Amino acid sequence: MRPIRPGDVIGLVAPGSPFDRDRFDMACDHLVRQGYRVRIGEHAFEAKGYVAGSESARASDLARAVLDPEIAAVVCIRGGYGSGCLLPWLPFPRLRDRMKPLVGYSDATFLHLAFHAELGWTTFHGPNLMDVADDSGSTRSLLEALEGERDFVFHFSEEQILESGVASGKVMGGNLTCLVHLMGTPYFPDFEGSILFLEDCNEKLYRLDRCINQLRLGRVFDGLAGMILGRFKDCGDESEVHSVICHHLKPFRFPVVAGLPFGHVAGNQVLPLGLRFSLNTYEYTLGALESPFGSAS
């Protein structure tokens, strides 16, 4: 996988819900102003109720974007719902040697997990295209990450530490609700030795409790090296969310840090998934131990 450069083509796909065309055009304009070209999925505008077209059409657009040698990165236009339905339609064996930056969050969690489970890919949890429509600064931040201009080191404070310690491992995860819905399928990766990342939006506390309990009962926590929590927007008091999570983590002893700048919030930072990180609560850092682009960066 190589970093992108101005002049490259960015593929735009709609694996989940439909989207507002005016905001879409604004976001595309931001990318073009930064020197990039865009290539829109053939079926991206084929809204079908609460999803952006049929499963086969959405999967075809995603696969074509990955296989297209002129496309340097693939960005999800929007989250919402629907990405999980594409997984049986994707030709994973054909995609194996075509790794390129795949960016999105929320519903795109299904894609992140499946691409790692099936192909071992590093993917990028970060803004969907629609999130940069109103903010050219967010566009620049996203592109800098994909251009290899970020070291992926994040800092936190004492107040964000829920459990102290030092850990290293692949950061894996994404949206909590989506992650739990993938359990028991062939697309659920092995989290042994990883640093589990979780975030969510607009879920009641008892629903989050149920999801965390499911992960505990599914023994996902048993082999973890650590856990990082992004933001839990509109889920009530985040301190209560953290308390619920910590309740289920009592039998385990690994570092846990909360309130990191990932998820359904302004300034959603790009976080490479499937990449090895170090989490050190004594130095207040979460930092990548390698580059997602290898020596190319």
What's the chain look like in SS3? CCCCCCCCEEEEECCCCCCCHHHHHHHHHHHHHCCCEEEECCCCCCCECCECCCHHHHHHHHHHHHHCCCEEEEEECCCCCCHHHHHHHCCHHHHCCCCCCEEECHHHHHHHHHHHHHHCCCEEECCCHHHHCCCHHHHHHHHHHHCCCCCCEEECCHHHEEECCEEEEEEEEEEHHHHHHCCCCCCCCCCCCCEEEEEEECCCHHHHHHHHHHHHHCCCCCCCCEEEEEEEECCCCHHHHHHHHHHHCCCCCCCEECCCCCCCCCCCCCEEECCEEEEECCCCEEEECCCCCHHHC
> Picking from 38-47, 60-69, 134-143, 165-174, which range would have the lowest pLDDT averaged per residue?
134-143
Q: Supply the pLDDT for residue 138.
A: 84
pLDDT band per the 50, 70, 90 thresholds, residue 296: very low
Q: Render pLDDT for 200-239 as a digit per residue (tens, 0 to 9).
A: 999 999 999 999 999 999 999 999 999 999 999 999 999 9
Q: Is the pLDDT of residue 297 over 50?
A: no
Q: Supply the pLDDT for residue 294.
A: 81
Q: Is the pLDDT of residue 70 over 50?
A: yes
Q: Supply the pLDDT for residue 134.
A: 82
pTM, two decimals, is: 0.96
Average pLDDT for 243-271: 96
Q: Supply the pLDDT for residue 292.
A: 97
Q: Supply the pLDDT for residue 244.
A: 97
Q: What are the domain boundaries of the chain?
A: 9-146, 153-296
Chain centroid to Cα 13, Å, comes to 15
Average pLDDT for 114-124: 98
- Token pair, residue 120, equals 């071992």
Q: Which amino acid is at 47?
A: A
Q: Is the pLDDT of residue 164 over 80?
A: yes
Average pLDDT for 40-65: 96
> How big is the chain, counted in residues?
297
Instruction: Return d(Cα 150, Cα 89) in angstroms, integer.
Output: 34
Residue 267: which of 110, 170, 149, 145 has the closest Cα?
145
Candidates 2.60.40.10, 1.10.287.3510, 3.30.360.10, 3.50.30.60; CATH matching 153-296 = 3.50.30.60
Q: Supply the pLDDT for residue 295.
A: 54
CB-based contact 255:279 (threshold 8 Å): yes
In percent, the amount of the chain with pLDDT more than 70 equals 99
- Is CATH 3.40.50.10740 the right assignment for the domain spanning 9-146? yes
Q: Render pLDDT for 165-184 as a digit per residue (tens, 0 to 9).
A: 999 999 999 999 999 999 99
User: Within 10 A of 189 (CB to CB), how many other CB atoms are there?
Assistant: 21
CB-based contact 96:123 (threshold 8 Å): no
Q: Is the dihedral of CA 70, 73, 3, 113 positive or negative?
A: negative
